[in-house]
A = this chain, B = another copy of it.
Amino acid sequence: MNVSENRLQTMLDRLKSNGYKITPQRMAIIKILSTSIGHPSVEEIYEQVKKIFPTISLATVYKNILVIKELGEVLELAFANDRSRYDGHYPYPHPHAICMECKKIVDSQLDILQDFTQKVREETGFSIYNHRIDFFGLCPDCQRSKQ
């Protein structure tokens, strides 16, 4: 079982054990969430599911993602002037590189956060439960096309 299949199974288990029904629409949505590494938006997920269920409603996609988010199985990345993007492949806080041109979002594997979090704790007196680290710039493709 590869990583995505594992994620799908985890989502399924989590939904079932919390009393949620597995509808075909819901199944299609979590399949997309578990396999996508591109951080799709609700709209993009909606367009994909529509290929299989042409009558699906956008609200259905929104509600499913809300449920899955509440179960902690998808990470939401919200933005000022853009729609939210979702990571169901690795739904735990981690740094992202975000292209200001094409809106591509790429994961970073860097982890110097333990130290950093501890320092913020000491500096501010906050207890820290979560974080969000984004780097904004131009992806390699958009750097090239700007030359």
* Pairwise interchain contact A132-B137, C-beta atoms closer than 8 A: no
Q: Return the contact of A117 from the options B116, B120, B128, B135 (Cβ within 8 A).
A: B135
In the complex, chain B residues whose CB is within 8 Å of the CB of A109 = 123
In the complex, chain B residues whose CB is within 8 Å of the CB of A116 = 110, 112
Give the residue name and chain of the B residue nearest to A109 (CB): B123
The secondary structure that dominates the A interface is mixed
A138 to B119, CA, bound (A): 15
Min C-beta distance of A112 to chain B, whole Å: 6
In the complex, chain B residues whose CB is within 8 Å of the CB of A127 = 137-138, 143
Q: Return the contact of A126 from the options B79, B80, B106, B115 (Cβ within 8 A).
A: B106
In the complex, chain B residues whose CB is within 8 Å of the CB of A37 = none
* Pairwise interchain contact B99-A110, C-beta atoms closer than 8 A: no
In the complex, chain B residues whose CB is within 8 Å of the CB of A99 = 126
A60 on the interface (CB 8 Å rule)?
no
In the complex, chain B residues whose CB is within 8 Å of the CB of A123 = 97, 108-110
A55 to B15, CA, bound (A): 52
* Pairwise interchain contact B112-A112, C-beta atoms closer than 8 A: yes
A residues in contact (CB < 8 Å) with B: 76, 78-81, 84, 95, 97, 99-100, 106, 108-110, 112, 115-117, 119-120, 123-140, 143
